[in-house]
Structure 1
Amino acid sequence: MLIILCCLQLITALERQVLDFLGYQWAPIMVNFLQVVMVILGLFGAIQYRSRYVVMYLLWTLLWVGWNVFVCCLYLDLGGLSKVHSDAGHIVHRSWWKENGPACDLDSLPSDGWTNQENPQLTTVLRCWLEYQYIEVLHCTVQLLVSLLGFVHACYVVNALTDDDDNFNFNAEFQHPSKPFQLLF
């Protein structure tokens, strides 16, 4: 199950990485890259029965959950976080979904003075089926759900791997758990 969850995390992280590249969001690009690397390590640890890699995946998953909670709070303007820089009113990030959301009608600013300008920043998005901040929050929510499921399953895998390590009897054979003191020669 952990392997399936890691593959699902890779797919969703890569999809998010592409959309962050399209929106020029550099901090999320770096964090998404780390997510991809750590999920690959966790996947390798689950396939190769390496508990240390799975533990690294567990620790990273806690940071990843914190990052996604932070991004959710940022897009929803919770906890004193804001998408707009309060001093100059400039947007401090740019989401690809703002201009390319589902069923969004792009309209120019109504002023006649702006009609000859070719600046994409002078375009406003009117009447969207779902606003961009909610799409970003949905991405984070999917990441949170898959990460929390992955965390639970990774804890189980680490526990199972450490239980298997305890059954080794140093004679190059494994002991059966019901016969712990039997020596095999």
Structure 2
Amino acid sequence: MTFNISMHRSWWREHGPGCVRKELTASASKSLDDRTYISVTGCIVDFQYLEVIHSSFQILLSLIGFVYACYVISVFTEEEDSFDFIGGLDSYSYHAPQKPSHVQLTPVYL
């Protein structure tokens, strides 16, 4: 969007749906930076509305991409937390051994 601040022209102004474009050369000045004058007629929708629709679509697409990226990150971090270690020592299946009240010690060699 140019907001008519600079010399740049909108692409939608010349290439909108139904627009007929005619180029007219300025014969009065013969300088190197001679600009052609473009006459545009027959547009179905004004270019300002097309620029707003185009920008809105890009914003919507970026928001959908951001939400999807957050979902993918949450899936990867969730899988990382539920890793099953080699001994089956994850938080769901690990049972701590029960301590007996007293232990009877016996010699190995007599």
Counterparts of 1:139 and 1:174 in 2: how far apart (Å)? 53
Q: 2:79 aligns with which of 150, 164, 174?
A: 164
Cα distance in 2 for partners of 1:137, 1:173 equals 57
SS at match of 2:13: helix
Q: Give me the TM-score of the superposition, normalised by structure 1.
A: 0.37
Give 3-state SS (helix, strand or coil) of 1:84's partner.
Answer: coil
Structure 1 position 132 matched with structure 2 position 65: no
Cross-structure match for 2:60: 145
Q: Distance in 2 between matches of 1:124 and 1:174?
A: 75
Judged with a 3 Å threshold, the aligned counterparts in structure 2 of structure 1 residues 139 and 181 are, in CA distance, closer, same or farther, namely: farther
- Runs of 4+ more than 3 Å apart: 106-109, 172-175
More strand by share: 2
Q: Does residue 1:102 correspond to 2:8, yes or no?
A: no
Q: CA deviation at 1:163?
A: 0.9
Q: Which residue type is aligned with residue 80 of structure 2?
A: D
> Going by fraction, where is helix more abundant, 1 or 2?
1
The amino acid across from 2:4 in the alignment is: V
- TM-score relative to the length of structure 2: 0.56
Q: CA deviation at 1:165?
A: 0.4
Gaps of 5+ in 2: 29-33, 96-110
Larger RCO (CA within 8 A; separation ≥ 6): 1
- Rounded to whole Å, the distance in 2 between the matches of 1:134 and 1:180 is 60
